[in-house]
Amino acid sequence: MSPLADIPVEIANHILGFVPTSDLLNLCLTKRSLRTAAEPFLYSTIRLGEYDTTPRIVPLLRTLLQRPELWDYIENVYMDGSGFLGHVFRALDLNSVDIPVEQCLDAIKKTKVPYTDLWIAKLNSSETSLEALYAVFLAGLSNSKRLALTGHFINKREIIGKVIQSKALGEFGLSKLEQLREVKYDKFVDNVENKNNKIFPDVISLFYLPSLTSIEAWVPNPPVFEWPAGEPNLDHLTSLNLTRLSEDNLGKILALTRNLKSLTWTRNWDQTDDPGNTMELNFENIIERLSLVRGTLEELRIRLEIRPDFKPELNVTGSLAGLAGFRGLTYLEVPFISLAGFGETPLPIEDSVPPSVKTLALSDDLLLNSAVRWQQPYFEEHRIDYAPAVAIGEHIEALCDNIPTQLPLLRDLIFFADNSFAPIFERIDFDDTMALYTDDGFNMRVSTRY
């Protein structure tokens, strides 16, 4: 009898939790009792990528179809497609690999979904067979707690999107992911084929999963925002990270949350036909939407992005001064100009920050946009890529002067320099300011966000 078999199950499981995957596989091949102990750990986390020489989905799915009880062990699924432009699933002739095609067909038919014929057609075509196989894998999940799909696993993947939607809503013969707690569903905008960006029905269905606490998703704006199955109960959600969604549509989601603690919202503009690509930016409207979660929110990140080749002049009104009333916030990341405003005279940054904040991060989002009127005099005296640095440097000194009295809990002041055209914060000489204001209890630095 092996030493591992002689110790209590709880201790054996604790030990197996530290064993590398390759060694777990070796354990499974040595003895039946060891395989029984090691298999739950071997299959607990599945990672699938796009550039495997032999697609890992082939041997994995072959095993799962032969032993479907193994699906129950899968708790974490990471399907990482790093972007998609120029990348597609390669052609795969199923006759050239060892996979039970008939079992795949049976698995598809058992789902009883209305898109069975399309799914089977994709399976039978070498150009789309991989997409169909990945969809079969996803359809079999039942006990997963974490799921991440990114990049090309979403873009142009009609069947994968439909399967996700059906499982989230518990439709047809697909089991609902009742235990899923964290989900990431993220892709980049497709500037070549706009139709590939219209994934709202797939994404919005995720909000019906009953145990989710965290959602990170790329959410396009629909022509009309409608919940597909009535308003979901979102009391369980504590963290949201949403990209692309307009402030009005964001508000429709926030209105249903009761316990949200962390919100990251990235608002972007590009040349696609997304209904959210309006040239209006009303900060008072944003504050109104955010006020729906003011009582519970502890962390807030707001990011405003315009593609470098798409820089229109925005019609901007108001500021985020209303954030001062969010007294539960301890972490705040916002664009510098959202607090300074777009008017003729910049507003004091500290007046818009709640005194509860311990970390304040200011980004350079939209700082070069022509809508920022208070920078114009500096553009007349300095180069276009240096003028904002001059204006902002003066403003930052005033902020630091008032931190002890207005922001007594602030310990970290971060400047995110992410503007690839002109990294403005990197052009500011912070040395003297940092030396003057940085001590053992306070830190100021320039960093990158991504």
224 SS3 class: coil
- For tokens 């518990």, the residue is 170
Start-to-end CA distance of the chain, whole Å, equals 52
Instruction: Tell me the two tokens of residue 261.
Output: 């603690």
343 SS3 class: coil
Q: Which residues of 55-64 are buried (b: 16+ CB within 10 A; e: fewer)?
A: bebbebbbeb
- Res 413 pLDDT > 50: yes
Q: pLDDT band at 1, cuts 50/70/90?
A: very low
- Taking alpha carbons only, the member of 53, 30, 52 closest to residue 42 is 30
- Res 368 pLDDT > 80: no
Q: For the segment 4-18, what is each residue's pLDDT rounded down to a tens digit?
A: 556 555 555 545 555
- Taking alpha carbons only, the member of 94, 111, 92 closest to residue 102 is 94
Helix (H) or strand (E) holding 300: strand 299-306
264 SS3 class: strand
What distance in Å separates the CA atoms of residue 116 and residue 108, rounded to the nearest whole number? 7
Contacts of 292 (CB under 8 A, 6+ apart): 251, 254, 255, 257
Q: For the segment 4-60, what is each residue's pLDDT rounded down to a tens digit?
A: 556 555 555 545 555 655 556 555 556 565 666 678 878 899 999 866 667 899 999
* Helix and strand numbers, DSSP H then E, in the chain: 15, 14
Instruction: Tell me the two tokens of residue 321.
Output: 């001064």
Which stretch of 88-97, 241-250, 290-299 has the lowest confidence by average pLDDT? 88-97
Domains of the chain: 1-42 (1.20.1280.50), 44-239 (no CATH), 304-312+331-450 (no CATH)
- For tokens 């707001």, the residue is 302
User: Looking at the chain, how many residues does it have?
Assistant: 450
Given this model, what pLDDT does residue 280 score?
A: 87
- Res 295 pLDDT > 70: yes
Name the DSSP class of 88: -
Contacts of 32 (CB under 8 A, 6+ apart): none
Q: Are 168 and 176 in contact (CB under 8 A)?
A: yes
